[in-house]
Structure 1
Amino acid sequence: MREGASKLLAACSQREQALEAAKSLLTCNARILALLSQLQRMRKTQTLQRMGSSDVDERLPCTGKLAISDLRIPLMWKDSKYFKNKGGKSNLNQCAVFCLLHCGNQIYDTNLVMVDRTLTDVCFEDSILFHEVDPGFQLQVELYSSSVEDDLLTGSLGPRRLSRLGGSLGRTSGKKIRAALESAASCGNKGDPAEGSSSPPPLLPHPVGPKYQLLAHTTLSIAHVKDSFKTHDLSLAATVWLPLYGNMCCRLVAQPLCTVQQVISGELKLKFTDDTDSWENIYGVLKGTSLFCYQSEEDSGSEKPPMLKITINKDTIVCVSDKEPLQFQVLYISTQCRGEDLSYTLAFHAPEDTQRWMEVLWQHFYNISQWRHCCDNVMKIEEPANRKALKVKQVTPSSAEEGLVIQDLSTEICALLSTYYNERTEDE
């Protein structure tokens, strides 16, 4: 992906293509660094496990989904300089802006937004969803910008690459396109022409083209999660192209798996009164902050409401006792519901069921304690719509890399890359 974006960036003749290719290249570099960091952490964990170190946590909280949407960054233009619109549209000083979002080894970028002095807010309509996020997540939001210029063909292209590119764009019009690119390349080629004709120039880490600069950044954690629109502070870079206020607004929501998935279920006995003979067979389902009690397993799978709902939260106390005159252990649950103290007594049909439920309950309490207020109510998360960049399925740079999926390039760039590499394979 990185090699393809670099080659296309050096050959772009359209402003939009060059901006998208440069953005894709920056995103690819960030993903490579994130994957290398993840690999290093995995190796460290494996080493500690082999050494029997106690630093490795045995109990881990459940993961969940994290979604950020409605991202807005207000601008602070000076009235005398920007809103009089003197000089016409050509002097609006446009720049391309996008956000890069890091959460662990998951990195996504927003769509490009063209910004000029007529805008008072930079609005990103993207809804970005992160999967398998732990409660200790650190979501980094970085704002990048690049100045928009008409002439982006300032690099150099070797004749061999130009011939392949011209062929991939069509046999008939290839000569005209190749001649135009050769002319543009010769203007920016400062090396020896004789040397340039022998082989293509090496792939540079930062090819010629649009350069994105970091304008501002911030880090969001579980403390910033709220099921509503909220403002967060931004740390501004040393040189800022845009007049930023120093904050951003977004909706950051989290959905732990323990709140939306069934944790455990099974047959139980519930005692309603102090009378030891007053037991009733029920079917219990633990999900979120409630233990739902149904008359049968069939009722739990239907739309029938539960006969009883026991609140399970961080303040709930659970203990096991065998003092009851029964042949099995019982489970005492003390909890609060709407300010009222409530107690329940549950029993299991087999000792292994008691152990299984207790282990699941302790893990559930641990999940709730780590996810904190995210477990109070189930926050709604909508699956983001498929972005335009995801429509092209595969690009095959070489026969050894078949099946490579490019997911962060625009449709137009992916199509150009696919055609380019297919024609190169035919020529060879």
Structure 2
Amino acid sequence: QEPELQRALERALRVREGARRLLPACSRPEQALETTKTLVLCDARVVAAGGELQRRQEARLRGARRPSDAGPGAERVPCRGTVCISDLRIPLMWKDTEYFRNKGELHRCAVFLLLQVGAEIHDTPTVLVDRTLTDICFEGAVLFSEAGPDFELKVELYSAGLPGGGAQGSTPKKLATRLSTSLGRSGGRRARAALEGGPGSPPGTAGTGALLLPPPGAPGAEGPSGAPLFCVLRGPDLLCYGSAHEAEAGQEPTLTIAVTKDTRVRAEPGGCGQPPVVAVTNRLGGEEVTHALVAESAAEAQRWLEAFEQHLYDLGQWKQCCEELMRIEEPPPRRPPAP
């Protein structure tokens, strides 16, 4: 992902340079406003991407200095999750004379948000605000696809005054209001909210591949003898399908085996020339229940064991976010501002 991050940094630098050249040539206030917004967005992306690249470089240097006899799992990294932010609403407070009596000067401004998770930054459409509104509403959804379990969401609110009811050429400035658990608290010029929460999507597929149901009479035997299964680790379950096509088509799995942070998984060698077994053990109703699935080879059994270890680690990191898979639709592309 580092080359992709480097390309994102270079792209933000190019767009920022273009916006800087375009700004003096803007003949309409609306154009100047959108161009300045682009500058603000690109500045934030350059800082975020540059900081992330430096952090990864420092992590590599620390890893190079680390002793080679580090314990197992020392380099394990939790999987990424998806965070979706939608329907943001900010309540407004007006003076009685302005809102109820409709007196005084009509104040108008253009407002937008920058939202950041890690090195990923998105903006919202610009919203025009005056005293006829009781809330600032940012409709639609913002999607972050590379969030870690300890992610932090940062929200910055920008405002540009529009004197005389028109879009005059004042540039966006950060509102001198701090967004925290309650709005309206006096703060600095940098409006920032650090919010923590769960992702929209728990850990994805940690392992996929073929396993076989054991022959009748073997521990945990279910279904027809030797029936091949295409298995997928997803969220709190090991989903076992009759084929890869059934899994891709979204059909009901032939067998579902619960996988929680308390699940125990081990690979057992097969006796008398038999293939190895992947045993998945859960405690149900005070008793231990083991599903023994036959791997195609010792290497395949080891691959599944490593996939289970990573998946159990992910479950422990994401915690309750893994209990239910949430479907998140890709937001439609935003229309460019009117010329």
Q: 2:210 aligns to what?
A: 266
- SS of corresponding position for 1:71: strand
Highest Rg: 1 or 2? 1
- SS of corresponding position for 2:214: strand
Q: Which moved more, 1:123-132 or 1:285-294?
A: 285-294
Q: Are residue 67 (structure 1) and residue 84 (structure 2) matched?
A: yes
**1:293-336 CA distance string (max 9 Å, x none):** 34455655556533321111222222334497773433332225
2:233 to 251, 268, 287: 287
Amino acid at match of 1:210: T
Q: 2:41 aligns to what?
A: 27
If the length of structure 1 is used for normalisation, what is the TM-score?
0.63
Aligned residues: 316
Q: Is the 8 A contact 1:13 1:153 kept in 2?
A: no
Q: 1:398 aligns to what?
A: none
CA distance in 2, matches of 1:114, 1:275: 66
CA distance in 2, matches of 1:252, 1:43: 28
Instruction: Give the Å deviation of 1:14.
Output: 2.8
Q: How does 1:175-324 map to 2 (within 5 A)?
A: 209-216=170-177, 233=182, 236-238=185-187, 253-258=199-204, 261=205, 263-270=207-214, 273=217, 280-288=226-234, 289-295=236-242, 299-300=246-247, 305-322=252-269
1:146 to 154, 160, 164: 160
Q: Are residue 137 (structure 1) and residue 143 (structure 2) matched?
A: no
Amino acid at match of 1:267: L
Q: 2:304 aligns to what?
A: 357
Which structure has greater helix proportion? Answer: 1
Q: Is the 8 A contact 1:83 1:118 kept in 2?
A: no
Q: Which moved more, 1:268-277 or 1:280-289?
A: 268-277
- SS of corresponding position for 2:327: coil
Q: Is the 8 A contact 1:143 1:217 kept in 2?
A: no
If the length of structure 2 is used for normalisation, what is the TM-score?
0.78
Change (3 A) 1:123 1:339: farther
- SS of corresponding position for 1:77: coil
Q: Is the 8 A contact 1:255 1:378 kept in 2?
A: yes
Amino acid at match of 2:59: T
Amino acid at match of 2:88: L
CA distance in 2, matches of 1:144, 1:64: 28
CA distance in 2, matches of 1:302, 1:9: 50
Q: Is the 8 A contact 1:18 1:152 kept in 2?
A: no
Q: Is the 8 A contact 1:233 1:248 kept in 2?
A: no
Amino acid at match of 1:15: P
CA RMSD of aligned residues (A): 3.7
**1:271-296 CA distance string (max 9 Å, x none):** 66556999633314123122223445
Q: How does 1:38-77 map to 2 (within 5 A)?
A: 38-52=52-66, 58-77=75-94
- SS of corresponding position for 1:280: coil
Change (3 A) 1:252 1:73: farther
Instruction: Give the Å deviation of 1:381.
Output: 1.1
Instruction: Give the Å deviation of 1:256.
Output: 3.8
Q: Is the 8 A contact 2:239 2:255 kept in 1?
A: yes
Change (3 A) 1:383 1:27: same
Change (3 A) 1:74 1:283: same
Amino acid at match of 2:171: P
Amino acid at match of 1:60: V
Amino acid at match of 2:308: L
Amino acid at match of 2:41: T
Amino acid at match of 2:291: Y
2:317 to 354, 370, 379: 370
**1:240-271 CA distance string (max 9 Å, x none):** 8xxx9x9999x97522451xx47312132336
- SS of corresponding position for 2:213: strand
1:384 to 317, 331, 334: 331
Change (3 A) 1:103 1:273: same
Instruction: Give the Å deviation of 1:70.
Output: 0.6
Instruction: Give the Å deviation of 1:3.
Output: 3.1
Q: 1:404 aligns to what?
A: none
- SS of corresponding position for 2:333: coil
Q: Which runs of 5+ in 2 are unaligned?
A: 1-14
CA distance in 1, matches of 2:97, 2:90: 22
CA distance in 2, matches of 1:275, 1:115: 67
Instruction: Give the Å deviation of 1:128.
Output: 1.1
Q: Which runs of 5+ in 1 are unaligned?
A: 155-208, 220-231, 390-409, 413-428
Change (3 A) 1:5 1:236: farther
Percent identical pairs in the alignment equals 36
CA distance in 2, matches of 1:360, 1:80: 64
CA distance in 2, matches of 1:24, 1:79: 36
CA distance in 1, matches of 2:244, 2:90: 51
Q: How does 1:87-102 map to 2 (within 5 A)?
A: 87=104, 91-102=105-116
CA distance in 2, matches of 1:57, 1:84: 65
Q: 2:51 aligns to what?
A: 37
CA distance in 1, matches of 2:288, 2:178: 46
Amino acid at match of 1:354: A
Higher relative contact order (Cα pairs below 8 Å, separated by 6+ residues): 1
Q: Which moved more, 1:376-385 or 1:319-328?
A: 319-328
Change (3 A) 1:234 1:39: farther
